[in-house]
Amino acid sequence: MSWVLFMTVTKVAVLTEENVDEGIIKEAGKILRTGGLVAFPTETVYGLGGDALQKESSEKIYRAKGRPSDNPLIVHICRWEAVEKIAKEIPPEAEVLAENFWPGPLTMILKKSETVPAETTGGLSTVAIRMPQNKIALALIDAAGGYVAAPSANVSGKPSPTMAEHVEEDLEGKIEMILDGGTVGIGLESTIVDLTEGRPVILRPGYITKEMLEAVLKAEVDVDKTLLEADSGQAPRAPGMKYRHYAPKGEMTVVFGQVRDVTCTIQGLVREKMLAGEKVGVICTEETKDFYSADFVVSAGTGTDEEMIARRLYGILRQFDRDEVTYIYSEAFSDRGIGQAVMNRLLKAAGYHMIET
């Protein structure tokens, strides 16, 4: 048998949120209901969707991504009633969070019901649930029957896709369809909060911050210890966080300190590596970009615009991979608001390789 037999023709359809094409959504929904895979935009990153209630679909997702099957998937829904079907012992906090943040960039971990196959949850007795905000995503979930398992639509080890072109780069020929809804708004994956063990715990920081959750719950929210340190010696509670997910090809270092010290340190390292024949990229801000001279100097945005930096980060890392950059130096950014999530992803990408000046 030839490998060509296993290739799938990937159809790419362009849609807009303002005017979601019903014909395309119907076609995509049918692909999902009959066990195929469709990548779609959400407000955070692109997802690789399969029917969450068919175990074969989840297995296909793992194969297409090259992802270990013990890493559970998020089930995407489009109405609250779906939670009652796939989760049990739903705590009152879940309703409060849904009222305030759904549809939106928040994923909740709840106890799973029998309806969800173990393949979808990586064998766990809990299930991750999210109602995304993107209208194309919501229409697709509805057309698919209401339960779409979707990890980020990248192959394992690459940054999550923030544009359909990134999805094509990774999954062309491996999935049936890609819905191209343009560039996503947020650019980093959803906040994950675990509601299964008494006090809510953030397992992955995102656009919805600890302070935002605490304000509506009127209670304290914890942060998973493994997120705060490079090596806490403990396994993270979101299995996916243990993998070095967002790794660029080049060796990456994040430099902390006062602006002057950071720019001097980075430029010194850039010079040294370039003299050694390496291809070097710098990630910086509008305010500092003129201080550098390297093969690639990329501004992620104004230093005080954490949302812009979040939106651009993964695209910059992907471009560095395409350009075969061998060393990457990034300034440490503000950790205000979504900046917390930016720094979490940046440090993960760097394998916690950092310099304090």
Paired tokens of 205 = 């920081």
Residues 6+ apart with CB under 8 A from 71: 122, 151, 239, 240, 243
Query: What's the closest the beta carbon of residue 42 comes to ligand TXA, in angstroms?
Result: 5
Pick between residue 237 and residue 273 the one whose CB is nearest to Mg ion. Answer: 237
> From the list 32, 45, 280, 332, which residue makes contact with ligand TXA (rule: CB under 6 A)?
45
Pick between residue 24 and residue 116 the one whose CB is nearest to ligand TXA. Answer: 116
Pick between residue 169 and residue 278 the one whose CB is nearest to ligand TXA. Answer: 169
Paired tokens of 311 = 């939106």
What number of other Cβ atoms are within 10 A of residue 211's Cβ? 10
Query: What's the closest the beta carbon of residue 208 comes to ligand TXA, in angstroms?
Result: 11
**DSSP at 306:** H
CA 304 to chain centroid, in Å, comes to 22
# residues contacting ligand TXA (CB under 6 A): 29
Query: What's the closest the beta carbon of residue 348 comes to ligand TXA, in angstroms?
Result: 11
> From the list 10, 121, 263, 330, which residue makes contact with ligand TXA (rule: CB under 6 A)?
121
Pick between residue 151 and residue 301 the one whose CB is nearest to ligand TXA. Answer: 151
239 binds ligand TXA (CB under 6 A): yes
Sort 129 into a burial class: Cβ within 10 Å, 0-12 / 13-18 / 19+.
buried
| 3-class SS letters over 61-78 | HHHHHCCCCCCCCEEECC
**Rounded (10°) CA dihedral 195, 196, 198, 204:** -50
Pick between residue 40 and residue 333 the one whose CB is nearest to ligand TXA. Answer: 40
Alpha helix (H) residue ranges in 181-230: 210-217, 225-228
Report 71-100 residues binding ligand TXA (CB under 6 A).
Answer: 71-74
> From the list 12, 90, 96, 124, which residue makes contact with ligand TXA (rule: CB under 6 A)?
124
150 binds ligand TXA (CB under 6 A): yes
Sort 314 into a burial class: Cβ within 10 Å, 0-12 / 13-18 / 19+.
buried
Report 13-42 residues binding ligand TXA (CB under 6 A).
Answer: 42
d(CA 37, CA 33): 9
d(CA 24, CA 16): 11
57 binds ligand TXA (CB under 6 A): no
Residues 169 and 154: beta-carbon distance below 8 Å: no
126 binds ligand TXA (CB under 6 A): yes
Binding mask 145-164 for Mg ion (x = CB under 5 A): -------x------------
d(CA 37, CA 48): 7
71 contact, one of ligand TXA, Mg ion, none, CB 5-8 Å limit per kind: ligand TXA
103 binds ligand TXA (CB under 6 A): no
d(CA 164, CA 318): 13
Pick between residue 72 and residue 303 the one whose CB is nearest to ligand TXA. Answer: 72
> From the list 64, 202, 221, 238, which residue makes contact with ligand TXA (rule: CB under 6 A)?
238
Helix (H) or strand (E) segment spanning residue 129: strand 126-130
Residues of the shown chain interacting with Mg ion in the complex, contacts defined by CB under 5 A: 152
> Which positions touch ligand TXA (CB under 6 A)?
42, 44-45, 47, 71-74, 107, 109, 121, 124, 126-128, 130, 132, 150-152, 189-190, 192, 203, 237-241
